[in-house]
């Protein structure tokens, strides 16, 4: 009997020892960084990484990312329209508008029968703001989870997730549905605010940050060029151009810009200066310290979006002194942020990815003066088309909206009048095709059968959401867009709008680069792989294995 009991006891003892070893060593196989920092630069062309590279500082952000991290140099947006809300959502969901539902910054909802703003939510109230509208925001219009949501789920909600940006959509959509907080900037008050979706009152640290009135201090610095004029003439066109917008007033046509006149008067102008980036970095740093990000037992996530480049880019364009100066200063701000994270979280203890929500087209006036193709869509308005449609079909207001290069029909009107919509669509298509700026137009229902290049077809299909997309798709010629004769914009499928930077750095990331084709949708899948967590619920992207050690 003893012969049977002794081997049995030995077996039980060995199994117990094995179980103890497994329990203690298993976490080592699933290590994670203390903090993930997602950085989205609102409006950054990929070529800025190299075009301005000689001007970036050795201790700045871009050279640190390029020199010590991994760059995916051929990263593309796989859908249209290439705009802010879609871009931020795609980066963090790994999905496309047809799935995640954010079909534009705005869209016309075919069931609600009205225009909807991407992050609007009338069921919540603003917190900390001057107006009700600026705070009535949440991620409820987004149909899928984000990588931040998945991290929260994977750690049983022990991970903290904070979103920070000047734009509400740049903060809310990345942080996801289950975020601890998202903060955005209200130009009317000069405060960072939030909504009751997250909390009923701002934390003390946010109130203290707002009470500093940092914007006034930054305004007093005014805005002049950072380097000598010779540098700007080498990298950009002339400082003063008639085709540039004037966000600081009709008389403010070139450097230096007097910002001190806005002190205690207009807090919105900070967004159109590089100091908007400074403000964002300071808020992000305050969040890290106050919320002890990277100090807990679970990985935390800081989602930061730099909105100022978009405001500056829209006004002045990618070949302007203002845009060049903004990126010189943004490089310094990123360097400061990384230095701060080294000191607070620990060098190589956090993982960073940096990308853009979209790029941008050159200003049409700039293109024209350099004999390059480009222009503005003119002579095509809802009012004009509705007038002609009434003459043709004897019905008022058959078009309810035109946005995101799409035209929306008034389906209730057509149904009540028992008017077949096909002749209406065909008339609009033929009319639109006559416009000088338009290269093609067709029904969105025919995306998969219209003879167009496969790349364009895939991008249009990925951007098509039946409830939130229009009935007719317009394709503008390269270099053309809906807009005014001053400034520029984005939204097209062409590489100047769809080729974006993508860099990884820090914990778990190896040094290197790839020129193989990667996509914005791959970012969330890759971060999920690094963290050993489930990818977001609508992910269509693939893991970029090259970036990981």
Q: Point out the catalytic residue in the list 75, 82, 84, 355.
A: 84
Q: How far apart are CA 207 and CA 42, in angstroms?
A: 26
Structure tokens at 101: 């539902």
Rounded to an integer, what distance in angstroms lies between the CA atom of residue 480 and that of residue 488?
10
pLDDT band for position 503 (cuts 50, 70, 90): very high
Report the C-alpha gap between 317 and 243 in whole angstroms: 9
List domains and CATH numbers for the chain: 39-360+493-547 (3.40.720.10), 379-434+438-476 (3.30.1360.150)
Cα 301 to Cα 286: distance, rounded to the nearest angstrom: 14
Q: Look over the chain and give the mean of its residue pLDDT values, rounded to a whole number.
A: 94
What is the predicted pLDDT for the residue at 51? 97
Work out the burial of residue 327: count CB atoms within 10 Å of its CB; fewer than 13 is exposed, 13-18 middle, 19 or more buried: buried
pLDDT at 5 over 50: no
pTM metric for this prediction: 0.94
In this prediction, residue 265 has a pLDDT band, given cuts at 50, 70 and 90, of very high
Say what percent of the chain tops pLDDT 70. Answer: 95
> Is 80 exceeded by the pLDDT of residue 545?
yes
Does residue 330 carry a pLDDT above 90? yes
User: What's residue 439's pLDDT?
Assistant: 97
Per-residue pLDDT averaged across 114-128, rounded?
A: 97
Contact 510, 67 (CB under 8 A): no
DSSP state of 546: G
> Which SS3 state, helix, strand or coil, does residue 181 take?
strand
Instruction: Please give the angle made by the CA atoms of 127, 131 and 121, to the nearest 5 degrees.
Output: 65
Q: Is the peptide bond before 256 cis (omega within 30 degrees of 0)?
A: yes
Burial per residue of 13-44, b for 16 or more beta-carbon CB atoms within 10 angstroms, e otherwise: eeeeeeeeeeeeeeeeeeebbbbbbbbbbbbb
- Examine the pLDDT at 22 and tell me if it is beyond 90: no
C-alpha distances out from residue 518 to 261, 413, 496, Å: 46, 44, 16
Confidence check: pLDDT of 239 > 50: yes
DSSP string, 29-77: GG---SEEEEEEESS--TTHHHHSGGGS-TTSHHHHHHHHSEEETTEE-
Distance CA 242, CA 85 (A): 30
In this predicted structure, what is the pLDDT of residue 12? 37
Asked if the model's pLDDT at residue 27 lies above 80, the reply is no
For residue 371 the two structure tokens come to 């004999």
pLDDT 10s digits, 390-404: 999 999 999 999 999
**What tokens were used for 321?**
């002194």
Please classify residue 60 by burial: count the beta carbons closer than 10 Å to its beta carbon, then call 0-12 exposed, 13-18 middle and 19+ buried. Answer: buried
84 has catalytic annotation = yes
What are the DSSP calls for 225-262, one per residue? -SS-HHHHHHHSS-S--TTS--TT-TT--SSSB--GGG
d(CA 360, CA 340): 30
- Structure confidence by residue, pLDDT tens digits, 398-439: 999 999 999 999 999 999 999 999 999 999 999 999 999 999
Average the pLDDT over 481-490 and give the result. 94
Q: DSSP label at 303?
A: E
User: Which among 534, 529, 533 is positioned nearest to 547, based on CA atoms?
Assistant: 529
* Cα gap 106→91, rounded to integer Å: 18
Q: What is the mean pLDDT of residues 259-268?
A: 98
245's CB contacts (< 8 A; 6+ apart) are: 314, 315, 316, 486, 487
Distances (CA, A) of 14 to 2, 21, 406, 461: 18, 11, 68, 58
User: For 523-534, what is the mean pLDDT?
Assistant: 98
Under a CB-based contact definition with an 8 Å cutoff, are residues 479 and 437 in contact? Answer: no
Cis preceding linkage at 81, omega within 30: yes
**What's the pLDDT at 25?**
28
pLDDT score, position 29: 62
Burial of 517 (0-12, 13-18, 19+ CB in 10 A): exposed
Give the N- to C-terminal CA distance of the chain in Å, as an integer. Answer: 54
């Amino acid at each position: 009997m003893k012969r049977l009991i002794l081997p049995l006891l030995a077996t039980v003892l060995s199994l117990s020892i094995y179980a103890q070893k497994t329990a203690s060593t298993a976490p080592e196989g699933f290590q994670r960084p203390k903090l993930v920092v997602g950085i989205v630069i609102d409006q950054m062309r990929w070529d800025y990484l190299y075009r301005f590279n000689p001007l970036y500082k050795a201790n700045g952000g871009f050279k640190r990312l390029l020199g010590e991290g991994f760059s995916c140099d051929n990263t593309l947006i796989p859908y249209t329209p290439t705009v802010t809300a879609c871009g931020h959502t795609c980066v963090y969901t790994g999905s496309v508008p047809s799935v995640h539902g954010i079909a534009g910054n705005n869209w016309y909802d075919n069931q609600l029968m009205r225009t909807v703003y991407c992050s609007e939510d009338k069921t919540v109230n603003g917190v900390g703001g001057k107006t009700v509208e600026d705070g009535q925001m949440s991620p409820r219009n987004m149909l899928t989870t984000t990588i931040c949501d998945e991290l929260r789920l994977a750690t049983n909600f022990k991970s903290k997730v904070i979103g920070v940006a000047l734009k509400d959509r740049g903060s809310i959509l990345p942080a996801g549905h289950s975020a601890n907080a998202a903060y955005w900037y209200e130009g009317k008050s000069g405060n960072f605010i939030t909504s009751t979706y997250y909390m009923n009152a701002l934390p003390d640290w946010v109130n203290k940050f707002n009470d500093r009135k940092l914007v006034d201090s930054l305004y007093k610095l005014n805005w002049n060029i950072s380097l000598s004029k010779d540098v700007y003439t080498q990298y950009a066109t002339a400082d003063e151009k008639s085709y540039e917008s004037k966000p600081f007033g009709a008389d403010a046509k070139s450097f230096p810009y007097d910002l001190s006149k806005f002190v205690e008067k207009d807090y919105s102008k900070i967004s159109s200066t590089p100091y908007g980036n400074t403000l964002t970095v300071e808020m992000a740093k305050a969040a890290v310290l106050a919320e002890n990000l990277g100090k807990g037992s679970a990985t935390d996530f800081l989602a930061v979006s730099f909105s100022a480049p978009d405001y500056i880019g829209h006004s002045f364009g990618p070949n302007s002194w203002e845009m060049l100066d903004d990126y010189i200063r943004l490089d310094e701000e990123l360097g400061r942020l990384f230095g701060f994270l080294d000191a607070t979280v620990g060098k190589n203890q956090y993982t960073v990815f940096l990308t853009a929500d979209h790029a941008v087209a050159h200003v049409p006036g700039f293109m024209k003066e350099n004999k390059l193709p480009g222009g503005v869509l003119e002579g095509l308005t809802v009012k004009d088309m509705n007038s002609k449609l009434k003459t043709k079909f004897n019905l008022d207001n058959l078009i309810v909206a035109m946005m995101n290069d799409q035209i929306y029909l008034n389906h209730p009107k057509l149904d009540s009048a028992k008017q077949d919509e096909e002749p209406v669509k065909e008339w609009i298509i033929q009319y639109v095709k006559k416009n000088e700026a338009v290269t093609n137009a067709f029904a969105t229902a025919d995306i998969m059968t219209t003879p167009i290049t496969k790349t364009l077809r895939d991008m249009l299909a990925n951007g098509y959401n039946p409830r939130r997309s229009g009935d007719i798709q317009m394709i503008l010629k390269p270099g053309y867009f809906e807009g005014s004769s001053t400034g520029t914009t984005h939204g097209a499928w062409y590489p100047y709008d769809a080729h974006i930077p993508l860099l990884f750095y820090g914990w778990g990331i190896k040094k290197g680069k790839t020129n193989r084709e990667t996509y914005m949708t791959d970012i969330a899948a890759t971060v999920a792989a690094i963290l050993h967590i489930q990818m977001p619920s609508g992910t269509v992207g693939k893991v970029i294995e090259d970036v990981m050690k």
